[in-house]
Amino acid sequence: MKTEHFVAMVMALGGLSMGCGDDSDPVPSADGSSGTESGSSSTGTATTTTGADDTGTDGASGDGDSGESSSSSSGEPPPVEVTLEGEVVDFAFMAPIPDAEISVYDDPAIMATADATGFFSIGPFQPDTSSIFVLAPTEDYWGAVIPIDIGSDPLQEDVELTQISTEIVDMQIMGLAGQNPAMPDLERAIIVVRLINNTAVTEGPTTIEMNPPPQPDTFYAPDAAGAPVLNANDIEFALIPVVVYFNIDDSDPGDITFTATHPLRECEILYPNIPTIGEHMTLVDVRCPAP
């Protein structure tokens, strides 16, 4: 793949910001649905608990069935398990992606394959947690690393996962070539840092800092007119409010962190602990709501 095609692809990934909510909208979950974001979600492995008391203490009122006692002594039903169902679609064209392979980053035993219509069902998950879905790359699609909020309903429907097609690359030839970027390594990862509250752009730029810092000539952001500027890390373009990093090595959750600052607003990084994987795009959302 040529360098200009690579740039077109990551700019297309930046297009994930299209349709971002304004300050009155609920913060979108990474699966495309709206919901409450705490900003402190991590990839922590879901933990199964055994009930109110699993210490083996002999209670005078026990009926001899410790499993029954542990689930009923508190008067609450045992925790439910959640199954997620939804569709894998092409981001640009919203067409179903058949046979997409989905796994869970911190639990490889949980996996699913979309059917011919892009439909998938995956689980079980512990309720009221978060997880990281990994969509495998193919000849036609770039892989994706997508954090997901998991609710309390046993069946969580209408979860939408998206991947960027290589056709986008051919359709959107854009260039950083004249600015002499580093040679793209397509076996490494991409990070797209996206500002959810694109109205913040009207009040000043949102500056993104990556730690550890990226290598020179491996990141860029659109300027106020939308033209990509190499080594820029200010979000100034409301239509595509992103900073894009490429040639990123594989990393564990928390190895790479980001901070966001705005002249008038307080900002937070949603899902701050997300890994990077070669040949995958990791999406990092930033929220800078109006005071």
Q: Which residue has the higher pLDDT, 125 or 93?
A: 125
pLDDT band of residue 59 (cuts 50, 70, 90) is very low
Residue 97 has pLDDT above 80, yes or no: yes
Q: Read off the pLDDT of each residue in 188-196 and give the average, rounded to a whole number.
A: 91
pLDDT band of residue 272 (cuts 50, 70, 90) is very high
CA separation, residue 26 to residues 20, 66, 287 (Å): 11, 43, 11
Q: How far is it, in rounded angstroms, from Cα 107 to Cα 238?
A: 37
Judge if the upstream peptide bond of residue 124 is cis by omega within 30 degrees of 0: yes
pLDDT band of residue 184 (cuts 50, 70, 90) is confident
Domain range annotation of the chain: 3-17+180-287
- pTM of this structure: 0.73
Residue 43 has pLDDT above 50, yes or no: no
Q: How far is it, in rounded angstroms, from Cα 88 to Cα 134?
A: 12
Residue 284, classified by CB atoms within 10 Å of its CB into exposed (0-12), middle (13-18) or buried (19+), is: buried
pLDDT band of residue 264 (cuts 50, 70, 90) is very high
Q: How far is it, in rounded angstroms, from Cα 253 to Cα 271?
A: 10
Residue 138 has pLDDT above 90, yes or no: yes
> With contact defined as beta carbons under 8 Å apart, do 152 and 35 qualify?
no
For residues 30, 34, 39, 42, the Cα torsion angle rounded to the nearest 10 degrees is -40
Which pLDDT score, from 0 to 100, does residue 164 have? 76
Residue 197 has pLDDT above 50, yes or no: yes
CA separation, residue 205 to residues 173, 197, 271 (Å): 26, 12, 22
What tokens appear for 60 in the block? 């005078």
pLDDT band of residue 240 (cuts 50, 70, 90) is confident
Q: Read off the pLDDT of each residue in 267-289 and give the average, rounded to a whole number.
A: 94
> With contact defined as beta carbons under 8 Å apart, do 121 and 145 qualify?
no
Q: How many Cβ atoms sit within 10 Å of the Cβ of residue 70? A: 18
What tokens appear for 282 in the block? 């990791």
Q: Read off the pLDDT of each residue in 184-192 and give the average, rounded to a whole number.
A: 87
